[in-house]
Amino acid sequence: MGDRPTEQRQPRESREPRERGGRDRDDGSGMDDNVVKVYRCAKVVKGGRRFSFAALVVVGDRNGSVGMGYAKANEVPNAVDKGRKHASRAINKIRLSGSTIPHTVLGTFGASRVKLIPASQGTGVIAGASVRAVLELAGVKDCLTKAYGSTSPKNLVKATMNALTELRDRDMVERLRGVKLSAG
């Protein structure tokens, strides 16, 4: 032990709250982001393995706007930053009905299908990690989900985004059809 200075640990209350896996950070623009998955790729070269990284990032304001980005770089922080930039450029406006979605919808991408079902208030978001990231950052507080087919996080996030962009509220349906819908 000798001459090395010992590091004093602060009590848990006074330390900064820890971010789980780089999740839900606020960059000051009113948008939160969530790193869904970091992929590592190895390329074998003469001196050994050379790694590169890719990051799948979801960005949203928790009030009806959400976007996803996927970017690659030689280091994890660079991949996450690029992914965040791509996601913030690809923001989609989502139609919500209170704390849930207006109707049941099925989104697809590749071999993945995600079914989103509206839920009553207080249910919460019942979903896997990839789908939950998108729904929470979109501002959906109550929703049931079911994923069919491939469970690849990339495909599930894209399928969820596809489902959310297909949502229509009552006003939009009335405008598109040119009719007045009856109540109930």
Helix (H, G, I), strand (E, B) or coil at 32: strand
Residue position matching structure tokens 């690659």: 72
Pair of tokens at residue 147: 């994923």
Residue 19, pLDDT above cutoff 50:
no
What proportion of the chain, given as a percentage, has pLDDT over 70? 84
Residue 127 CB neighbours (<10 A):
22
Instruction: Give CA–CA dist 108/92, Å, rounded.
Output: 17
CA Rg value for the chain: 20
115 HSE (CA, 13 A, CB side): 7
Confidence of residue 117 (pLDDT cuts 50, 70, 90): very high
Residue 75, pLDDT above cutoff 50:
yes
What's the chain's average pLDDT? 85
- Residue range 33-54, pLDDT digits in tens: 999 999 999 999 999 999 999 9
Residues 6+ apart with CB under 8 A from 162: 107, 108, 109, 114
Residue 148, φ and ψ in degrees, nearest 5: -120, 150
Confidence of residue 25 (pLDDT cuts 50, 70, 90): low
Residue 6, pLDDT above cutoff 60:
no
Q: Strand 92-93 and strand 105-109: pairing?
A: unpaired
Residue 95 in contact with residue 169, Cβ under 8 Å? yes
Pair of tokens at residue 45: 């070269």
Residue 17, pLDDT above cutoff 60:
no
Instruction: Give CA–CA dist 8/76, Å, rounded.
Output: 29
- What integer is the mean pLDDT of 62-89? 95
Q: What is the value of pTM for the model shown?
A: 0.80
Confidence of residue 165 (pLDDT cuts 50, 70, 90): very high
Domains along the chain with CATH numbers: 20-89 (3.30.160.20), 94-177 (3.30.230.10)
pLDDT at 31: 85
